[in-house]
Chains A and B, each alone.
Chain A
Amino acid sequence: MSTDYLLEKKLLNEAPGLHQRVRDSVFVLQSMLEGFLPRFPDFTDHSILHSLDVLDYSNRLLGAEQIARLSPGECYVLIMACYLHDIGMGVNQKDFQEFSSKIAFGHYFDTHDGADEAEIIRAFHNEYSGCFIRKYAELLEIPSEDTLFPIVQVSRGHRKTDLFDEQEYPEMQTDYGVIRTAYLAAVIRLADEIDVGADRNPELLFDTSKLTRQRDIEAFGTHESIRYVDVTGDGILLHVRPKTSEYTPLLETLNGKIQQTLDYCRSVAEKRSDLRIGQKRSVLIYD
């Protein structure tokens, strides 16, 4: 059975008012999500195209059975978080200053004393996303604190945050049904992690011949070496054809990272909810 658009269709059928809010947001977000480009011109794609990928992977990872068990509120939160999780990459100067005064950087500056704005945002973009969503909730048509809090937390949760923290990631009872924030954050963390295929950076939009930094060349080259990502009921399959032999160890490292994230997210799902992430292994398949 196709998993295409399952979350979106369920939301439309069960909560058309929330679905309309998503539609209104998508229209606005299309240009807002281009905001990362001036600061990160040579970075992998973080536009609405990436959001679409993460949403598609969420549908595929969940599958029809798990999606049927989600509440309309959970569909809404997950869809919005798919669109919003990287919005922090493109904060303007004023918002960068404002949000930086609210974010807990921990010991980051002890080891990154000379970090510039781009480096800081890259390291903490999930937190900037959380601040952005809270500030612009009305613009994004988010109807209430009951949906705003989970959208913020699930968006932040796509990287780094502790999904076992019950205060940060509670199970909530809302007007739109139960919202299991830890589970949703686990799904988006995994979906984001596996958006690594060649189509992540569309050939129509990216000219990789102009890259100069080794880090960017390797990142794009690694993506180019992954022909496509397949998601089955029990696994994640990366179909690869290394661009050159130098990319083989990078692909192995990437696959290891995906497996780590998968293991963590499965554990969150099992321990923090009655829902599941069915996939168990991430595998490289050399074409």
Chain B
Amino acid sequence: MLSIEKKTNETELIVALTGRLDTTTAPELERELGENLDGVTALVIDMAALEYISSAGLRVLLSAQKIMGKQGEMKVTHVSETIMEIFEVTGFSDILTIE
């Protein structure tokens, strides 16, 4: 299960994720981002309540980062120890901007 909460602040979009970002839920996040990234110059993915991210979830994050690379910036925040371990084991801690 994944719930996605969005908040906008002018051209900044904050997306807070709760639950699991995996094969079954990643398409939902991809859809939400696809519908809401126009005009966004700063994307923040708040992972405070995210329990787990699979490879499918990493792909969506990377896809979003590719888009934001052309129109602004993206960062992930409040990363738990579990999620950070995944970022480190896959090498993605060096690709993503993590705060």
The majority secondary structure among interface residues of chain B is helix
Contact A52:B58 (CB < 8 A) given known A30-B95, A228-B23 = yes
Contact A26:B95 (CB < 8 A) given known A5-B86, A9-B89, A205-B66 = yes
Q: Is B16 an interface residue (CB 8 A)?
A: no
Q: How long is the Cα–Cα vector from A202 to B56 in the complex, in angstroms?
A: 11
Interchain CB contact under 8 A, A48 and B62: yes
Neighbouring B residues of A22 by C-beta, 8 Å: 91
Neighbouring B residues of A4 by C-beta, 8 Å: 54-55
Contact with B along A118-154 (1 / 0, CB 8 A): 0000000000000000000000000000000000000
CB distance from A43 to the nearest CB of B (A): 16
Contact with A along B55-99 (1 / 0, CB 8 A): 110111011101100000000000000000010111111110000
CB distance from A5 to the nearest CB of B (A): 6
Q: Which residues 5-38 in A have Cβ within 8 Å of B in the complex? A: 5, 8-9, 12, 19, 22-27, 30
Q: Is A104 an interface residue (CB 8 A)?
A: no
- Shortest Cβ distance from A50 into B: residue: B59
Contact with B along A170-203 (1 / 0, CB 8 A): 0000000000000000000000000000010011
Interchain CB contact under 8 A, B59 and A199: yes
Interchain CB contact under 8 A, A26 and B90: yes
- Shortest Cβ distance from A205 into B: residue: B63
CB distance from A188 to the nearest CB of B (A): 16
Q: Is A49 an interface residue (CB 8 A)?
A: yes
Q: How long is the Cα–Cα vector from A53 to B23 in the complex, in angstroms?
A: 11
Q: List 10 A-B contacts (CB under 8 A).
A: A5-B55, A26-B92, A27-B91, A49-B63, A52-B58, A202-B59, A202-B60, A202-B63, A203-B31, A203-B34
Known: A5-B55, A203-B30. 8 other contacts (CB 8 A): A4-B54, A8-B89, A19-B89, A30-B62, A48-B62, A52-B58, A55-B55, A199-B56
List residues of chain B with CB under 8 Å of any chain A CB. 23, 26-27, 30-31, 33-34, 37, 54-56, 58-60, 62-64, 66-67, 86, 88-95
